């Protein structure tokens, strides 16, 4: 039986972070499932178009990849999203995958990073290595993308579950807001902040909206608010514990299949 795993992410036009994050996650999956052929798809048509223009590389959408797998006569296909929340991009995967449900002997779609309660607990645990070196006056600020989708509440839930850990999550879009975070950090007596993207890749948002010297970047806003700021262009996909969470989602899905 020909078997494939399709790894789907939003994508990025930044080759360096693509290699460190998306490709790193794909490699973990390749190593863990040698009996499966592993393929890539992106959900962002804009990113796909720019990569084609800038690098001459063609990347499939979810529907294009599934059509290709059907034409190549794969019988079992597992889709593993690398999205962070069950937001609009994940639902785009579901919509494009739906017409193919009857085209394969086995067809399953796994889940994004944050779906079940245990996912939140594992993600919080993955931050321990960043937290442990901090002094009492230091804190971490995570830049999430945010969403207009109802799943934007994912970020507020995770922020709440962090409890008294020196970590704040806020979003480029939607809630929680950076202004609220500034107020909270000042009240906690924090003076030095470490800015990280809470995104799979350290791409455009991390490079420009978070870490640049532009007047409206988060770095600049936090400096004006009186904090010392250090930026870290490290995507979630570089974190081996995050990679392991995606692998655990695949493993759970495979075990469900075996029990059917």
pLDDT tens for residues 2-42? Answer: 999 999 999 999 999 999 999 999 999 999 999 999 999 99
In the chain, where the domains are located: 3-112+239-256, 117-236
Q: Is 87 annotated as contributing to ligand binding?
A: yes
- 197-225: pLDDT as tens digits: 999 999 988 999 999 999 999 999 999 99
Q: How confident is the model at residue 257, as a pLDDT?
A: 55
C-alpha–C-alpha distance, residues 4 and 2, integer Å: 7
Q: How confident is the model at residue 232, as a pLDDT?
A: 97
Own/partner contacts of 180-183, CB < 8 Å, gap of 24 or more, are 181/141, 182/221, 182/222, 182/225
C-alpha–C-alpha distance, residues 177 and 27, integer Å: 35
Nearest to 44 by CA among 251, 199, 242, 240: 199
C-alpha–C-alpha distance, residues 233 and 231, integer Å: 7
> Which entry of 83, 117, 145, 160 is annotated as an active-site residue?
145
Nearest to 42 by CA among 151, 200, 253, 254: 200
In this structure, whether the domain defined by 3-112+239-256 belongs to CATH 3.10.129.10 is answered with no
Q: Is 126 annotated as contributing to ligand binding?
A: no
At which residue do the structure tokens 């919509």 appear?
95
Average pLDDT, the chain: 94
Preceding omega of 176 cis (within 30 degrees of 0) = yes
SS3 of residue 192 by DSSP = strand
C-alpha–C-alpha distance, residues 204 and 14, integer Å: 8
Q: Is 92 annotated as contributing to ligand binding?
A: yes
Architecture of domain 117-236: 3-Layer(aba) Sandwich (3.40)
Q: How many helices (H) and strands (E) does the chain have?
A: 12, 8
- 106-134: pLDDT as tens digits: 999 999 999 999 999 999 999 999 999 99
145 belongs to the catalytic site: yes
Q: Do domains 3-112+239-256 and 117-236 have the same CATH topology?
A: yes
Q: Is 257 annotated as contributing to ligand binding?
A: no
| Angstrom distances, CA of residue 175 to CA of 27, 95, 149, 257 | 33, 26, 11, 37
pTM here is 0.94
Q: How confident is the model at residue 260, as a pLDDT?
A: 45
Residue 117: burial class (beta carbons within 10 Å; 0-12, 13-18, 19+): exposed
Q: Is 173 annotated as contributing to ligand binding?
A: yes
Q: Is 10 annotated as contributing to ligand binding?
A: yes
């Amino acid at each position: 039986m020909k078997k494939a795993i399709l790894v789907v992410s939003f994508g990025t036009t930044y080759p360096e972070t693509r290699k460190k994050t998306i490709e790193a996650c794909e490699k973990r999956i390749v190593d863990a499932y040698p009996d499966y052929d592993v393929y890539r798809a992106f959900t962002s048509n804009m990113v796909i178009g720019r990569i084609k223009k800038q690098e001459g590389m063609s990347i499939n959408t979810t529907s294009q990849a599934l059509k290709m797998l059907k034409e190549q006569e794969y019988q079992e296909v597992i889709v593993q999203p690398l999205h962070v929340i069950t937001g609009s991009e994940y639902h785009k995967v579901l919509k494009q995958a739906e017409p193919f449900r009857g085209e394969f002997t086995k067809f399953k779609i796994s889940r994004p990073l944050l779906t079940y309660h245990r996912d939140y607990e594992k993600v919080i645990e993955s931050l321990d290595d960043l937290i442990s070196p901090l002094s009492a006056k230091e804190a971490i600020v995570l830049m999430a993308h945010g969403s207009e989708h109802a799943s934007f509440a994912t970020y507020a839930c995770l922020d709440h579950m962090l409890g008294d850990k020196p970590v704040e999550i806020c979003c480029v879009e939607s809630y929680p807001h950076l202004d609220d975070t500034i107020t909270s950090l000042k009240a906690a007596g924090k003076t030095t902040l470490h800015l990280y993207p809470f995104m799979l890749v350290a791409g455009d948002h991390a490079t420009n909206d978070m870490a640049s010297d532009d007047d409206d970047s988060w770095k600049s806003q936090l400096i004006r608010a009186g904090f010392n700021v250090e930026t870290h262009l490290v995507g979630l996909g570089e974190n081996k514990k995050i990679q392991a969470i995606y692998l655990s989602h695949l493993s759970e899905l495979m075990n469900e299949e075996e029990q059917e």
